[in-house]
Amino acid sequence: MPLTPNEFYTNALNATDADGRLPLSRLTGWEIFPFEADGLRVVPLEKPVIPEQSRRGENGSPCDSCASIGRGEIWQDDRWRLITFSEPSGAPLVMMLLPKDHYDLTDLPDDLAAEFGRLIVHTARAIESLPNVARAHVSRWGDGGAHLHVFFFARPEGFAQLRGTCFAIWDDLLPPTPRDVRDNDALHVAQVLVTSYGGRATSP
């Protein structure tokens, strides 16, 4: 039997201190963790809330991804769009791949799912063809918006400290990459994608 939300919570509380805080973990002791453990503490675990609040774009709430079509695309075809953000962040390049129609990951039709798989591979390959990028990290979270959106984080070459799952945090800590440099890298990715996959490069 799977744990109910309350059983999951009770099980977690067994590992907390008197304030309901979990202890620091293996991750916080790993050399890629961006913060020193001294003085760090885990926030208290909150009780489960059922039902959960609707995400943007479900149960009648407006979908900002559908509303943003035509903004931010550096590449697109008839069914997909690859966008950059209006403000650069700490990673050399952060992009998001979305279907133009309103689907989440788990209701994507098989024909779009097949294209999605190929596009993830071709986009990651295009990002890793940049000489300043060692790795294209791919992540789908989907807790804020119900419209499928997959992040690509370009991890800069030579920074082993920035490898792995904490890079999304480093992206927020590092100063923004200069906009013209970021835009040139994005244009390169779009052009490589056009050559290897198809579609068209567009101005964001």
Residue with smaller CB distance to Zn ion, 146 or 189 = 146
- Minimum distance from CB of 98 to Zn ion (Å)? 8
- Minimum distance from CB of 23 to Zn ion (Å)? 40
- Minimum distance from CB of 71 to Zn ion (Å)? 14
HSE, side-chain direction, 13 A CA sphere, residue 128: 11
Residue with smaller CB distance to Zn ion, 88 or 145 = 145
SS3 content of the chain, % helix, strand, coil (to 5): 30, 15, 50
Residues that bind Zn ion (CB under 5 A): 57, 63, 65-66, 102, 147
* Nearest CA among 2, 1, 12, 14 for reference residue 48: 12
Q: Measured between alpha carbons, how far is residue 180 from residues 13, 143, 186 in Å?
A: 49, 31, 10
Residue with smaller CB distance to Zn ion, 63 or 120 = 63
Residue with smaller CB distance to Zn ion, 57 or 156 = 57
Entry field: residues in the chain? 204
- Minimum distance from CB of 48 to Zn ion (Å)? 27
Sign of the torsion angle spanned by Cα atoms 144, 147, 150, 153: negative
